[in-house]
Amino acid sequence: MELFWYIVLVTMLAVYVILDGYDFGAGIIHLFFAKTEKDKKAITNAIGPFWDANEVWLIAAGGVLFFAFPTLYASSFSGFYLPLIMILWLLIFRAIGLELRGQIHNSMWETIWDKAFGIASLLLALFFGVALGNIVRGVNLGIVMEGVSTHEAHYFFLPLWNPTFSPQAEHLGILDWFTVLLGIIGVVSLAIHGANWIIFKTNSSLNNRLKNVIFTLNFVLLGLVIISLFVWHVIEPKPFHNFITNPWLWIFPIITFTGLLGLFKIKSFKKDGYGFLFSSLFLFGGLASTVASIFPKVLPSTNDVNPSLTIYNVAADEYGLNVGVYWFAIAVVLVAIYMTIQYKVFKGKMDDVGYGEH
């Protein structure tokens, strides 16, 4: 049962990253590449009717984490206290940036909310990458000092950074060079992903320029991914251990690289949706490969005193996990129906949806 809920949780997070990821990416593109009012309109039209429903995947994934793995939820949410609260604040700015911009027609007002939307999206992409970095790097569980736990074995607390910015320091911080590297990968990959979504959903004059942007950024992304693979051993000496014992797991890295390399053909795609498909493959494959590399750990311990958190020592009891399957199965069917309806109604190009025009 633990394994079932773990797959559910990772899948939901992947769906969240793919869906809200294009919103963040659209925000980043909006910040750097949207020059004219028409460009900006095209971008907000492309995500306007969706962003709110996309954000629900985060809440729903949080709910599943809470109910299926309460100890992991408690440990990680209190341990990553500051960045999580900041993510909340950024989500608020992203939302009001989108929703309030069109309410008053005044150029200062519009500039403020454009920037709020763009900067919040950029920082959210960065933070989610950093979060993934923190999870694979691990934390000092139990806050061990001089060989002794100062707290219960599954609790910890991380400040935003430590003076050395090193992922191997004795006192870790949220931001170190490794987690920031993953954060930058997050920003670049979501910028590509968002650009793909805009191309897919609009006939904007931006689209041809965006194809060039995607092509260039994809080189940057490839470079960053290669660098990250070279330095990965710093945080995990045997990153391929799981892949060697379970060769079928190679499917995830293969998906990742299919998505990444496929995007180099962006300029010759026949359909506007293909680019989005490839960037989705990259995001899904990247996330799945990363969590598969540490499985069954979900939060590694960086000390020798306390054991890592695994899906088995953080899960709720058997009865609760079993009974959850029933309502979850019903809910998934309903969610699939809602999404089908939603994307059917808003299918095709969205240039005329009139988002933000009150």
Partner 1 sequence: MEDMLFYDRMQFAFTITFHYLFPQLTMGLSLLIVYFKGKFLYNKVEKYNDAAKFWMKIFALNFAMGVVTGIPMEFQFGTNWAKFSELTGGIIGQTLAMEGMFSFFLESSFLGLFIFGEKLLGHKLHFVTGFLVFLGSWMSGYLIIATHSWMQHPVGYEILENGKFVLNNFGALFSNPWLLPSYLHNQLASLVTASFVVAAIGAFYLLNDKHHEFGRIFVKTGVIFGFISSVLVAVPTGDLTAKNVVKYQPATFAAMEGIFHTEKGGSEIVLIGQPNTLDKKLDNKIAVPNILSFLTYQNWDAEIKGLNEFDEKDHPTNIPGLYYAYHIMVGLGTIFIGILFFAVVQLFRKKLYKTKWILWSLVFLLPFPYIANTTGWYTAELGRQPWLVYNLLRTSEGASPTVSSGNTLFTLLGFIGLYLLLGMLFLILVGKMINKGPEPIKH
- Contact positions toward partner 1, by CB under 8 A? 48-50, 52-53, 55-56, 58-60, 62-64, 66-68, 70-71, 73-79, 81-82, 84-85, 88-89, 91-92, 95-96, 99-100, 103-104, 143, 151-152, 154-157, 316-317, 319-320, 323-324, 327-328, 331-332, 334-335, 338-339, 341-342, 345-346, 353-355, 358
Smallest distance from partner 1 to CB 131, Å: 13
Smallest distance from partner 1 to CB 53, Å: 4
The nearer residue to partner 1, 31 or 60, going by C-beta atoms, is 60
The nearer residue to partner 1, 292 or 335, going by C-beta atoms, is 335
Smallest distance from partner 1 to CB 331, Å: 4
Give me 205's structure tokens.
């004059």
The nearer residue to partner 1, 226 or 329, going by C-beta atoms, is 329
The nearer residue to partner 1, 226 or 334, going by C-beta atoms, is 334
Each residue of 160-193: b (16+ CB within 10 Å) or e?
eebeeeebeeeebbbbbebbbbbbbbbbbbbbbb
Cis peptide bond upstream of 70, omega within 30: no
H helices then E strands: how many in the chain?
A: 12, 4
Smallest distance from partner 1 to CB 284, Å: 20
Smallest distance from partner 1 to CB 184, Å: 25
Contact 223, 231 (CB under 8 A): no
Residues 6+ apart with CB under 8 A from 80: 131, 134, 158, 174
Smallest distance from partner 1 to CB 260, Å: 31
Give me 214's structure tokens.
């995607």
Smallest distance from partner 1 to CB 339, Å: 7
The nearer residue to partner 1, 81 or 215, going by C-beta atoms, is 81
Beta bridge partners of 297: 310
Contact 138, 235 (CB under 8 A): yes
The nearer residue to partner 1, 86 or 220, going by C-beta atoms, is 86
The nearer residue to partner 1, 97 or 275, going by C-beta atoms, is 97
| Residue 155 CA from chain centroid, whole number | 24
CA dihedral of residues 205, 207, 209, 211 (deg, nearest 10): -170
Give the separation between CA 155 and CA 150, rounded to whole angstroms. 9
